[in-house]
Amino acid sequence: MRSKDRISYFYDGDVGSVYFGPNHPMKPHRLCMTHHLVLSYELHNKMEIYRPHKAYPVELAQFHSADYVEFLHRITPDTQHLFLNELAKYNLGEDCPVFDNLFEFCQIYAGGTIDAARRLNNQLCDIAINWAGGLHHAKKCDASGFCYINDLVLGILELLKYHARVLYIDIDVHHGDGVEEAFYFTDRVMTVSFHKYGDMFFPGTGDVKDVGEKEGKFYAINVPLKDGIDDPSFTRLFKTIISKVVEMYQPGVIVLQCGADSLAGDRLGCFNLSIDGHAECVRFVKKFNLPLLVTGGGGYTKENVARCWTVETGVLLDTELPNEIPQNDYIEYFAPDFSLKIPNGHIENLNSKSYLSTIKMQVLENLRYIQHAPSVQMQEVPPDLYIPDYDEDEQNPDERIDQHTQDKQIQRDDEYYEGDNDNDHMDDV
């Protein structure tokens, strides 16, 4: 048992100010709400807080195709009508709209996950949190399911420089298809996704029979669930499967995607999980005492998303939080009872004991096929991408510099509290 976990937490207020559009369920504002709730419970005093660097196009192209990254960089709401063919090619439109500051939004949330992975790689922390990340549907050459850049794949690629085996766990209500697809042919990443499957539910993939191919055969695990699963059923299944996975696969690091759309009452979800049930999965994964990268994901009832990720920040800090929400800038969103916990849902649980038992047996049977911890010939570790930082002395005084570059020089009073744990202005890349 480690004496005390060192936790790095990544946040940039700009990520919460983008707007997908009036009728779009994705509300990045939930990230500001989460952060202010974390601050109101004074959890920031127990963590190191960082503003992530904005990932450079060359970093995004470690997974995504260069032409797709370049298009995201170039497209704006004002020019999109000139690129109808490209919009269709890259799947931009209703689900994945073009909005103001789209590329910067991608750079920030992806930068957070990349920075989190680098801090873990360099043993500068034990747990790294980026609630803005977890956009698991994005593919190599196109957007999907409100996701443009797959920060999880980029973070895992970073972790693979130092770790022979990475375990990816996904508790979003939707299948983690983009991450699974990226590593479908390798045994160096095991992907485990617990999700709703069937009834044409997005994205339509993630059958228990989909197990990976070639070197990756049996290294993709899917746990397809029906509507209405509750805390006892979900957590029991989760613990049984994840225990066996860690025992057999022996990962060097875990990436945990904590999509909050699996909570009861989610605008797009159909499960009955309470925040306690969801957080129990986080608590269980933490107990393995392996380096851990934690991200957000889906979640479309935004006050419940903020509640959930705040509770889970507390879990990662071994801190029990009082149920009464302290005063904060978004307190009115938590009316009328201003409490942290939410009740379980009332959707009928269509997951019978025999169905869950069958799924469990199939997954455990597939795990028997994998070698105990595949060995990998570790090559020389490639360097973290060298990207020159802003140098005040070399700056041309007649040239304007963008706001984010200026912000790197100063602390922002609206986001952080002064103190030893505020590392916002330290260079960490």
Q: Tell me what pLDDT residue 186 has.
A: 98
Which residues, at least 6 apart from 305, have a Cβ–Cβ distance to it below 8 Å?
30, 33, 34, 260, 263, 296, 299
Q: Tell me what pLDDT residue 4 has.
A: 80
By residue count, the chain amounts to: 429
CA distances to 107, 131, 163, 169, 182 from 159, rounded to whole Å, are: 19, 18, 6, 15, 15
Q: Tell me what pLDDT residue 215 has.
A: 96
Q: Tell me what pLDDT residue 429 has.
A: 40
Per residue in 255-304, pLDDT (tens digit) is: 999 999 999 999 999 999 999 999 999 999 999 999 999 999 999 999 99
Q: Tell me what pLDDT residue 90 has.
A: 98
Joined tokens for residue 261: 């759309």
Let me know: does 427 contact 389? Beta carbons within 8 Å: yes
Q: Which sequence positions are flagged as catalytic? A: 137
Tell me which residue of 12, 18, 11 sits closest to 102, measured CA to CA. 18
Q: Tell me what pLDDT residue 349 has.
A: 97
Q: Tell me what pLDDT residue 3 has.
A: 61
Positions at the binding site for a divalent metal cation: 172, 174, 261
Distance CA 425, CA 406 (A): 11
Per residue in 3-22, pLDDT (tens digit) is: 689 999 999 999 999 999 99
Q: Tell me what pLDDT residue 390 has.
A: 44
The C-alpha angle 3, 128, 18, rounded to 5 degrees, equals 150
Positions at the binding site for substrate: 95, 145, 300
Distance CA 26, CA 99 (A): 12
pLDDT at 188 over 80: yes
Kind of pairing, strands 48-50 and 166-170? unpaired
Distance CA 289, CA 395 (A): 45
Per residue in 210-261, pLDDT (tens digit) is: 999 999 999 999 999 999 999 999 999 999 999 999 999 999 999 999 999 9
**Which has the minimum average pLDDT: 50-59, 102-111, 371-380?**
371-380
Let me know: does 149 contact 110? Beta carbons within 8 Å: yes
Per residue in 37-81, pLDDT (tens digit) is: 999 999 999 999 999 999 999 999 999 999 999 999 999 999 999
Q: Tell me what pLDDT residue 376 has.
A: 61
Q: Tell me what pLDDT residue 418 has.
A: 41
Q: Tell me what pLDDT residue 412 has.
A: 44
Q: Give the mean pLDDT of 301-328.
A: 98
Q: Which residues pair with 194 in a beta bridge?
A: 223
Q: Tell me what pLDDT residue 427 has.
A: 44
Tell me which residue of 97, 96, 3, 5 sits closest to 47, measured CA to CA. 5
pLDDT band of residue 424 (cuts 50, 70, 90) is: very low
Q: Tell me what pLDDT residue 414 has.
A: 47
CA distances to 82, 238, 378 from 382, rounded to whole Å, are: 40, 35, 11
Cis peptide before 336 (omega within 30 of 0): yes
Joined tokens for residue 240: 């049984």
Positions at the binding site: 95, 145, 172, 174, 261, 300
Can you give the three-state secondary structure of the chain, one letter per residue? CCCCCCEEEECCHHHHCCCCCCCCCCCCHHHHHHHHHHHHCCHHHHCEEECCCCCCHHHHCCCCCHHHHHHHHHCCCCCHHHCHHHHHHCCCCCCCCCCCCHHHHHHHHHHHHHHHHHHHHCCCCCEEEECCCCCCCCCCCCCECCECCCHHHHHHHHHCCCCCCEEEEECCCCCCHHHHHHCCCCCCEEEEEEEECCCCCCCCCCCCCCCCCHHHCCCEEEEEECCCCCHHHHHHHHHHHHHHHHHHHCCCEEEEECCHHHECCCCCCCCCECHHHHHHHHHHHHCCCCCEEEECCCCCCHHHHHHHHHHHHHHHCCCCCCCECCCCCCHHHHCCCCECCCCCCCCCCCCCHHHHHHHHHHHHHHHCCCCCCCCCCCCCCCCCCCCCCCCHHHCCCCCCCCHHHHHCCCCCCCCCCCCCCECCCCCCC
Q: Tell me what pLDDT residue 343 has.
A: 80
Q: Give the mean pLDDT of 135-157.
A: 98
Per residue in 90-104, pLDDT (tens digit) is: 999 999 999 999 999
Q: Give the mean pLDDT of 176-183.
A: 98
